[in-house]
Structure 1
């Protein structure tokens, strides 16, 4: 059978609070971000592996706080006053600043100005500050003194909920028992869940097949 041509489509993932599944893996992070008034000096670092839900949770927080979200690699010193004027800011992937001295100076400036004005600063990262490779001593001391909260690797309930959400975001219908079958066989990673669902979508469309356990087994083998 000839394979059908497929074209990548922009998928808009649901990012609201109602779409965020709370489990033991992320419950402490949710509770912490829901109480920014308790953050020491109004700052917090949200740490978790790739695909753990950091961006989703940070987006919820930013929407509720009226904060701007900015990738760390895009941050410059002249942006600080506008970010502080909003009263809150989210800087994502802070660990990418390790090789960027200008970015480190920009974060240092933003940090100090936000603290002086009583604003709140949320950073997301895959690793703790000691592993970022920072070279600016003043920034190192401030980041290592900043409170952190972690999202831990997903449990079965969270992994299942994320799979359901990912299939729903792509408007894909799958057999109810497929979710539990996948959870027991895939790597315990939300990043893997995203890759798996995307691969199933591509293969089902290319081969004009329904998403079944057989197709899922083939895709899992190819990912391995």
Structure 2
């Protein structure tokens, strides 16, 4: 029997507001981002673990406010004026700039320019600023003084909804009963949910079979 050829094609993830499942773990974050007029000094830190939905939530905010979006390590001082000209800016993965002098200086400059121009500034990170390893004292003090809102670890309802969405993004049909079965047996992490669905997709393609409970058990065992 010939081995099936597998093409690693990217799946398109739905990132609109209608695709964002509101649960106790993220309701406060969503409500906070919906009211930038209440942010102290028009800036906010969005904190949450890997795969918690920070990028999805930040993209919703960016789309609805016409914000410029940039990754923390991609920041440069020269890019700051164009970003602030959008009147709203999203800096993602800000924890990655720690220990990189040019990126730290760029975020410090962007922060000050946004304040001077009255632009809204949303910064996302996996951890609080105290854990970023910042070397620039002025940036460290400004980030630690910035108001923050956290996305908490997902509950069972949120994890189930995310699994449904991840399967749908890949156009995969699974038995409804498989979702709660997975939720009870996997780590309660949205990052884990992404890995599980990706692994199930790949293994089902390799075997030329449907996604079953037996296949899911094999994947969970392989992921440890």
Which position in structure 2 is the counterpart of 1:13? 13
Which position in structure 2 is the counterpart of 1:174? 174
The runs of at least 4 aligned residues of structure 1 exceeding 6 Å deviation read none
d(CA) in 2 for partners of 1:10, 1:223: 21
d(CA) in 1 for partners of 2:44, 2:116: 16
Which position in structure 1 is the counterpart of 2:120? 120
d(CA) in 1 for partners of 2:166, 2:11: 10
d(CA) in 1 for partners of 2:85, 2:171: 39
| Residue 11 of structure 1, CA deviation | 1.3
Question: How do residues 125-164 of structure 1 correspond to structure 2 at under 5 angstroms?
Answer: 125-164=125-164
d(CA) in 1 for partners of 2:2, 2:31: 51
d(CA) in 2 for partners of 1:41, 1:92: 19
d(CA) in 2 for partners of 1:177, 1:108: 50
Runs (5+) with no aligned partner, structure 1: none
d(CA) in 1 for partners of 2:12, 2:200: 18
Which position in structure 1 is the counterpart of 2:111? 111
1:108-166 C-alpha deviation (Å, 9 max, x unpaired): 11100101111100000000000000010110110000001000100000000000000
1:156-209 C-alpha deviation (Å, 9 max, x unpaired): 000000000000000000001000000000011000000000000000010011
TM-score (norm 1): 0.99
d(CA) in 2 for partners of 1:9, 1:16: 22
d(CA) in 2 for partners of 1:82, 1:167: 38
d(CA) in 2 for partners of 1:10, 1:186: 24
| Residue 4 of structure 1, CA deviation | 1.3
d(CA) in 1 for partners of 2:153, 2:159: 9
Which position in structure 2 is the counterpart of 1:96? 96
d(CA) in 2 for partners of 1:209, 1:217: 14
TM-score (norm 2): 0.99
d(CA) in 1 for partners of 2:95, 2:134: 8
1:115 is paired with a residue whose SS is helix
1:46-98 C-alpha deviation (Å, 9 max, x unpaired): 00000000000000000011001100110000111111111010000000011
Which position in structure 1 is the counterpart of 2:56? 56
Which position in structure 2 is the counterpart of 1:208? 208
Which position in structure 2 is the counterpart of 1:43? 43
RMSD of the TM alignment (CA)? 0.7
1:187 is paired with a residue whose SS is coil
